[in-house]
Structure 1
Amino acid sequence: MATAAMSGPGRRVYFRQGTVLKVAVLAILIALIVLPLLRTVLFTLQPETITAWSDVLTGRLSENLFYKPLTNTLIIGVVVSSACVLIGGFLAWLVVMTNVPFRKTIGVMATLPFMIPSFAAALAWGSLFRNDRVGGQVGWLQGMGLDIPDWLAWGMGPTLIVLTLHYFSLAFTIIAASLATVNSDLVEAAQIAGAKGGKILMGIILPVTTPALVAAGSLCFAGAVSNFATPALLGLPVRMQTLSTRLFGMIEVGQVSRGYVIGILLVLISGAFLWAGNRIVSGRRSYATITGKGGRAKRFDLRTSRWPLFIVAFIILMAATVVPVIVLIASSFAPSSADLFANWTLHYWIGEFSPDFAQGIPGIIHNNDIVRALLVTLALGCAVAVTGMCVGLLTSYTVARYREGLMSAAITQISFLPLLVPGIAFGAAYIAYLGAPIGPFPALYGTFALLVIAGTAYLLPFSVQTGRAVIQQVGGELEESARITGASFFRRLASITVPLAVRGLAAGGILVFVKIIRDLSLVVLLFTPTMPVLSVVAYRYASEGFAQFANAITVIILMISIAATLIANALQTKSQPWLKN
């Protein structure tokens, strides 16, 4: 290694620079991640707010404040994660290990649902299945004369379905990557020995993919329990509460301390399940599937089942991707969801003020609030992409080049801590952190700066992952040669690392951009009328019964997200192994 070849003074300078860099990065991460969470906890431990703990956990309102929402949250987490692993695993098996028709098409379509915001799918569900239980417009199916039962229109049932259709693509990606490493020689040997398909699945494929199954289930669980938009749109109208919606409601009505307690408990529950998943995986070590011996890719011949299984996969993917988009687009033109494909009008897009239509609300182009929200959202996405990639690159560079010591380990752990924190709880933490003045610094609530700082911190794990991939592409000897010639740290970073990995950085920045512009859970508590963002504006319109405006705004978010994602995929140099053969 380069450090081993250094002379004594050069080595001391190298490690001194590393120490300074570690301290600086650790200070940044503590300020962005640790202090907001700590400030939230300390807020609830003050003499005037500590009673919030007993109110939530043991008080006379505790059942409605915590235990009923907790039960609903756990049901959602367990059912959605189990269903996602089953559906994602089924599709991954078809794409990676079988000769199903249109395998590559299935693989591409299976990655798309996670690009669609969960509130988009919830809005589409309402446009199709909404009944007249809570008043307002009914959905298309009831408008056609069908009697839609309450369990299909509202509450737990549609919430579970929508969240499963949203998160299964996450499970698919993880499980498919794991299945792609399974050596087909193992399967062939079992077949030669007379093992049947079920025995091969239970005895070979499932054991070696256990880490991926557990990881997929854990991440889907964490995503489902922290999701705010879907239970808010489909559950709140019939008073079905989850921890995320209860947290939002407490802060909305001014019961901030109780909201913070619920947020802390939500973080602990999400973190506990992720920790348990990691413990299950780390408890066993017999998962090695990649060895020095080459393997041949051989797919199962589905024979007469090829087309029936393709039809099943096609129905799932259509329900998760194509149908919601079609419904959203149609609803943005239809005056009534009950008559979704007739009497279309462009008013919701380009219409001017008219007191006789849509209660006088002008179309998107002439709606100053929506136009402002679009500009703020695009500016937020760009700002978070730039700041996130800068902090992520600096963090990953520090850990990659100066690995020794406790500070490096602390930097790694803290940088991935936001993965354990649900978005709405993270937003609440930032209200506690920067919502009030700190010494000479003014309160940032309602400012663009707060949105940028919170978004940068929340998406830091993704920025660090991208930065780590970038650093691995650049050999350390290049920077060492520049250092010997006297180039400073920032000069080396700007002249060597960034130019050589600019495509990867750009792709990572675009993905961060996509995540923040379609996020609702993080920004729903940070939203103010003076600093609107599209996702919250869409949610507000939907909550107030203006589904057409909400769906039109969501279509705009979808168009921006899909375009940006396609650009990012084009920039990526890594290929998906299950699509190569």
Structure 2
Amino acid sequence: MKASEAHYGGGVALLLFLFIFLPLLAVLVNVIFPGLFFGNVEWGGIGLIGEIFHRPLWRQSLLNSVTLALGAATLGTIIGGALATIRSRWSFGAARLLDITAWVLLIAPSFMIAQGWVLFASADGLVHSWLGWTWVTSFIFQPTGLVFVMALSKFPLAYLAILAATEWNIRQFGYAARLNGAGPFTVWRTVELPLAMPSFVAGWTLVFMDTVGDFGLPAALATVYRFPTLTYSIYSAIYQSPVRFDMAGVLAFYLVLILALAMALLMLTMRRSKYDFLNARAVKTVKEQPKHAWIYNVAIALFVCLSLGVPIGTSAIVSFMRHAGGGLRVENFTLDHYRQLFSYTAGDHRLLAFLEGMYHSLLVAAVAAVLSMVIGFVVAYVLAFTQSRMRPMLQLFSIISLAVPGVVLGIGYIFIWNQKWLEPLGLHLYGKPSLLVIAGIAGAIPYAVRVQLGAFGNLSGTILKAAAIQGASVFDRMRDIVLPLVRQSLLIAGLTSFGTSVFDLAMASMLKPPNFSLMPLVIDKAFEFSNYGYATAATVVSCASVVLIIMVVQAAGRWVFGRLDRQRQQEG
């Protein structure tokens, strides 16, 4: 039994090592030995690392990334904390709308959100042509405005982390403080906030890491505003002539260093925090009905319009406009962009580009989702039900994949899988769609593992131990006991992986094979050439298609699972 568990644990650990840790290690090694992966071994030492403080673009990229991440993390945590506190204490009609908004923003590709803000706030955008508010343009396209936009799109990470910590009622401590004369603010400052501090720090760290590794915002801003960040400068270093692997390696090193410091802060806070306030008298939080519920409903509705309605709504509206800056006039609205999207004429390859990009993106995402679902299932099983010595390593690899940005893994994939000596082995994967699948798996693994771990937490290990005593192998236990009980969460994990892989702009930009169209690149290219109508129409259609596919597959899965359950009941 132990040997079988070790085999499964070792197998998935090897896969995660190849998909996640080895590319990251290659990026870090390239800083010290530039050219190592291209047959030109040189000892660069650590002197190149200090060059970031002497080269203006490198230094500005670092400064912009840190400034944006610190500002967005702080403001996003304030927003997320305030909303989570309101959501956990009060019951009002718009509460569910807030939850939906948080999940939509969490899943939506950041470059699409950023493009919506660009179309809304640029000099010829909707807010200028419709309302004449020129101050919005000057506010958004400067560092403070970018912090504001990023905080509005990343706050769900803090909101969900803090909301999860409010499940249990700890107000008895507040009542004790009030009996000793403390006012409401003092109770919140001295009792409730310190107890909730780990969740606030966790939320702040998640927003910080997601912001500092974001590629979508700088990619969308590149058309209207110069704001170099570490991620975009890494991408530019790879795709400029001559290729600057030294620049990409150094910037990637600092990006990983920043993320490591953020993770260390989170771990330190967790270790120094007290978790022993929950005891046998703990009860679930019961939401109260506020006296003026309409105030909460109106405030949440306005916030949703700002955070979700502006970027998503702007893209949808522009897709029906002849000219984005043409104003709110009847003659400016049209269906031409959608007709162009689905019409074919000689010499016009936009339809073929759209269909080909959609097909390739859906196929790559589907394959990556299925494989990540299977790998995530095995990883979650090993973590939850075995004593394998590979458990710490599996946990580490899954966390690294969550923290390390796609552009860093993309560089690592180029270093590792672009070696000439791999060609006779058939493993020269750079420039092939299979590498996009591997990248999709690496990005989906942390979501697949955590979704399934949540379901595994409800299962008793006693059943598995009894089956093992009766001679059932590890595979039999996974197939016959665990799988039927968690198949719904397994389907959700696969759909989550699918949704997060379709519009991965960073990996698509860095690993795209020649003459291989992908949906994120089709949209980004149209946006880059100011073809906003086509770009937004393609965004609306592709996003609607992905949502429809997810809904259909989920409904089909429920029907199949229900039929299997009925058959099992009849046989029993």
Distance apart, 1:477 and its partner CA: 4.0
Given that 1:128 and 1:139 are in contact with CA atoms closer than 8 Å, whether structure 2 keeps it comes out as: yes
- Residue 348 (1) aligns with residue 337 (2): yes
Q: Residue 117 and residue 457 in structure 1: after superposition, are their counterparts in 2 closer, same or farther (change >3 A)?
A: closer
AA aligned opposite 2:164: A
What is the match of residue 141 of structure 1? 127
Distance apart, 1:566 and its partner CA: 6.3
What is the match of residue 468 of structure 1? 453
AA aligned opposite 2:122: R
Q: Residue 192 and residue 141 in structure 1: after superposition, are their counterparts in 2 closer, same or farther (change >3 A)?
A: same
Which of these residues, 192, 214, 232, is aligned with residue 245 of structure 1? 232
What is the match of residue 215 of structure 1? 202
AA aligned opposite 2:375: V
Which of these residues, 271, 283, 300, is aligned with residue 260 of structure 2? 271
Using the alignment, how far apart are the partners of 1:164 and 1:568 within structure 2? Answer: 33
Unaligned runs of 5+ in 1: 1-13, 132-137, 573-581
What is the match of residue 564 of structure 2? none
Q: How does 1:11-90 map to 2 (within 5 A)?
A: 14-44=1-31, 45=33, 46=36, 51=44, 54=47, 57-58=50-51, 62-64=55-57, 66-90=58-82
Distance apart, 1:235 and its partner CA: 5.0
Distance apart, 1:296 and its partner CA: 6.6
Residues paired across the two proteins, number: 542
What is the match of residue 278 of structure 2? 290
CA offsets 1:457-481 (integer angstroms, 9 cap, x no match): 2221222223323433444344444
- Residue 115 (1) aligns with residue 107 (2): yes
Q: Residue 71 and residue 321 in structure 1: after superposition, are their counterparts in 2 closer, same or farther (change >3 A)?
A: same
RMSD: 2.9
Using the alignment, how far apart are the partners of 1:340 and 1:390 within structure 2? Answer: 50
Q: Residue 296 and residue 434 in structure 1: after superposition, are their counterparts in 2 closer, same or farther (change >3 A)?
A: closer
Which of these residues, 415, 423, 427, is aligned with residue 432 of structure 1? 415
- Residue 336 (1) aligns with residue 323 (2): yes
What is the match of residue 568 of structure 2? none
Normalised to the residue count of structure 1, the TM-score between the two structures is 0.85
What is the match of residue 6 of structure 1? none
Q: How does 1:151-190 map to 2 (within 5 A)?
A: 151-190=138-177
What is the match of residue 518 of structure 2? 533
What is the match of residue 401 of structure 1? 385
Given that 1:112 and 1:169 are in contact with CA atoms closer than 8 Å, whether structure 2 keeps it comes out as: no
- Residue 549 (1) aligns with residue 521 (2): no
Given that 1:94 and 1:103 are in contact with CA atoms closer than 8 Å, whether structure 2 keeps it comes out as: no
Using the alignment, how far apart are the partners of 1:298 and 1:479 within structure 2? Answer: 36
Which of these residues, 484, 487, 492, is aligned with residue 499 of structure 1? 484
Q: Residue 399 and residue 141 in structure 1: after superposition, are their counterparts in 2 closer, same or farther (change >3 A)?
A: closer
Given that 2:205 and 2:266 are in contact with CA atoms closer than 8 Å, whether structure 1 keeps it comes out as: yes
Using the alignment, how far apart are the partners of 1:448 and 1:350 within structure 2? Answer: 30
- Residue 421 (1) aligns with residue 404 (2): yes
CA offsets 1:514-567 (integer angstroms, 9 cap, x no match): 111132233321124533321222122211211222222222343245456768
Normalised to the residue count of structure 2, the TM-score between the two structures is 0.86
Using the alignment, how far apart are the partners of 2:442 and 2:25 within structure 1? Answer: 14
- Residue 92 (1) aligns with residue 75 (2): no
Given that 1:185 and 1:295 are in contact with CA atoms closer than 8 Å, whether structure 2 keeps it comes out as: no
What is the match of residue 519 of structure 1? 504
- Residue 126 (1) aligns with residue 126 (2): no
% identity of equivalent residues: 21
Q: Residue 238 of structure 1: SS of its match in structure 2?
A: coil
CA offsets 1:19-55 (integer angstroms, 9 cap, x no match): 3333323222222222212222333413656559655
Unaligned runs of 5+ in 2: 559-572
What is the match of residue 386 of structure 1? 370
Using the alignment, how far apart are the partners of 2:47 and 2:318 within structure 1? Answer: 46
Distance apart, 1:323 and its partner CA: 3.0
Using the alignment, how far apart are the partners of 1:335 and 1:273 within structure 2? Answer: 45
Distance apart, 1:361 and its partner CA: 5.2
Distance apart, 1:260 and its partner CA: 2.4
Distance apart, 1:148 and its partner CA: 4.7
Q: Residue 283 of structure 2: SS of its match in structure 1?
A: coil
Q: Residue 338 of structure 1: SS of its match in structure 2?
A: coil
Given that 1:470 and 1:501 are in contact with CA atoms closer than 8 Å, whether structure 2 keeps it comes out as: yes
Given that 1:463 and 1:509 are in contact with CA atoms closer than 8 Å, whether structure 2 keeps it comes out as: yes
Q: Residue 140 and residue 109 in structure 1: after superposition, are their counterparts in 2 closer, same or farther (change >3 A)?
A: closer
Which of 41-50 and 205-214 deviates more? 41-50
Q: How does 1:193-208 map to 2 (within 5 A)?
A: 193-208=180-195
What is the match of residue 325 of structure 1? 312
Using the alignment, how far apart are the partners of 1:192 and 1:180 within structure 2? Answer: 24
